[in-house]
Structure 1
């Protein structure tokens, strides 16, 4: 059931209350965290100590009002003009098995090109590396805006030498037509689109953060069984949400560092409630939705990043271990000390460019780029 604050006139009242509350707590957060001893970790900067609780406040607002941010994404896509691409579903045969159209069907989805889209004047794409990135959002929030896309693109071009990045916004789960496997169908749509432009599959690097990381793992699982699509050259997942259960909020509350990380239990519960299919889930569907304890064989090198003090770290570490133990897999876990959830999306505002460089330099070496 949606919170009472998600509909007018109570939604308007909650927004007003939230703005006033934020203005009040901001100076208090700054003063409170000036002493290093008062910070969640003495190694944290003042900026990180203040931004994390502010981010939680934003997630409270979005969760209580059911504001998923998709209207903002669509507005920015329009402003981007030729850098925006609306991608239509691929041929029906591409969506098989758990992705077979039923109540949930593939649909047009959009994303942003960085620094520019492919044009007729573009030279051959034979040697171009392209990053196909999927943002997080607990399956219910949209983060396909310019500020996030630019941050990801800048990091990928600098440290992975990717000539282009496509920042792809899949459908958030808002109704029965966008539950699982809608978002995963969208990833297949985007991947098919990238290949249709002429990029070689071995030059495509899949990337995803948080719930987007979950979806990249699911896409790898799917591609290993697909006869229609070739495998990409590599995959990076940032703080992937690998343990998604019907009790997501309660599960998160038991995690170490849950109180100091940016995520909140109610957001994850909203995401799980909205994303899980309404029917009784099959074992195959559960493996796609929650990859922890469902490892699989993949021929794609998989680089996993996690913040060493993020609440999801233990689950991510265990997932990496399980994947590593599968014969033939090439998997590497890179943990950044004293870093919280989703480094790739938050690093510009936190001044953590060096940490992103270290992670991507490690990934580049691991991939042999």
Structure 2
């Protein structure tokens, strides 16, 4: 069945809707600022957090309606000193055996490994040939349809904070985003790019797997779980080793949750997520013809399809976000199959505080979760030492 695009994503409706949205925006902004002045309207949140959350909700509703596309480029741009172009053909011989691209990565012949633009935070590792003690490979948020890594505004507060706290470089790839009109951008495009970035660290920079930490917020957290599953289930074919640890920040763990259930969630008034954004992301990222019974569906929706890995997993969530229940379920499910999992909860904050701690005025909570992640990495960091080559 053909995927239907939003009527506001097509001209002239897109132009008319955008014009209307911009015309009424000043009045809506004024209304939001005034509405949240009384504490009774804020659901135990600060005025800044309540206003910032509502503004994000407003932006995402506009972006969803017009199916906004984040412009991407393979050119260095202003980030030249932090930019790297990763070419899968130069990282490893993809035609050789074993190839790092197998199994679920070959489900659509039209989707092939592609060049990936990536950016270092805070700065690249030294070029003297000595591998850094730690490197974080972080995947950004955006429901697989939005977001990027080129600027601090796109990447959010977390990557730079993580780099400073762990005193290590963070590499953020701009994996391919999905859209409804181009089905060659659906799964496994993003996972192919994740494998490309991981093999770049392993084979081009010669960084030992025990020095690599996988990290991802929201959809990026989903991508980290998919990469871990791929390494676990296809490792013998790809020879990809386990990383040191995995950090999941408000991961999008369950893509099967209906939009209506999201909009009816008890935390809907303290979060910016909504069912329409879920539908846009799921419909764009899910390959044509797939449903929950498809053989590789667990690669895009891990909750309820947990697997055992020896990689220690850190999951951070907020009790005020809509995805909180799925985070708890994912943590328990992974623990039940024998994984080492630490679940860190904060009391207040919407979805993805890792991305927006500064925006929401939650720097204290943000620094706390970064600190907990640092402790986690130090505590579990050598667990893989004996199993890595």
TM-score by length of 1: 0.92
Q: Matches of 2:159 and 2:286 in 1, distance apart?
A: 31
Structure 2 residue runs without a partner (length 5+): 380-389
Judge conservation of contact 1:98–1:181 (CA < 8 Å) in 2: yes
Q: Matches of 1:74 and 1:265 in 2, distance apart?
A: 30
The offset of 1:368, in angstroms, is: 2.3
The offset of 1:75, in angstroms, is: 8.6
Judge conservation of contact 2:122–2:164 (CA < 8 Å) in 1: no
Q: 2:120 aligns with which of 113, 126, 142?
A: 113
Alignment of 1:36 with 2:39, yes or no, is yes
Q: Matches of 2:334 and 2:327 in 1, distance apart?
A: 11
Q: Secondary structure at the match of 1:124?
A: coil
Q: Matches of 1:133 and 1:354 in 2, distance apart?
A: 22
Judge conservation of contact 1:77–1:112 (CA < 8 Å) in 2: no
Give CA-to-partner distance per residue, 1:69-91, whole Å, 9 cap, x none. Answer: 1x1x4399522123211212243
Q: Which structure 2 residues correspond to residues 256-335 of structure 1 after superposition, within 5 A?
A: 256-281=266-291, 283-327=294-338, 329-335=339-345
Equivalent in the alignment of 1:51: 52
Q: Matches of 2:61 and 2:265 in 1, distance apart?
A: 19
Change (3 A) 1:57 1:145: farther
Judge conservation of contact 1:76–1:146 (CA < 8 Å) in 2: no
Q: 1:367 aligns with which of 355, 377, 383?
A: 377
Give CA-to-partner distance per residue, 1:22-60, whole Å, 9 cap, x none. Answer: 211112111111111121x22x11111111111111111
Structure 1 residue runs without a partner (length 5+): none
Equivalent in the alignment of 2:161: 155
Alignment of 1:204 with 2:212, yes or no, is yes
Change (3 A) 1:77 1:4: farther
How many residues align structurally? Answer: 360
TM-score by length of 2: 0.87
The offset of 1:314, in angstroms, is: 0.6
Q: Matches of 2:302 and 2:265 in 1, distance apart?
A: 18
Equivalent in the alignment of 1:178: 185
Change (3 A) 1:191 1:248: farther
Judge conservation of contact 2:74–2:85 (CA < 8 Å) in 1: no
The offset of 1:129, in angstroms, is: 1.0
Judge conservation of contact 2:141–2:216 (CA < 8 Å) in 1: yes
Equivalent in the alignment of 1:84: 83
Change (3 A) 1:65 1:150: closer
Equivalent in the alignment of 1:165: 170
Equivalent in the alignment of 2:141: 136
Give CA-to-partner distance per residue, 1:228-247, whole Å, 9 cap, x none. Answer: 211110110111111112x6
Judge conservation of contact 1:261–1:311 (CA < 8 Å) in 2: yes
The 10-residue stretch of structure 1 (340-349 or 138-147) with the greater mean CA deviation from structure 2: 138-147
Over 4 Å off, 4+ runs: none
RMSD between superposed Cα atoms in Å? 1.9
Alignment of 1:96 with 2:97, yes or no, is no
Q: Secondary structure at the match of 1:310?
A: coil
Give CA-to-partner distance per residue, 1:174-201, whole Å, 9 cap, x none. Answer: 2211111111111101111111212121
Change (3 A) 1:150 1:60: closer
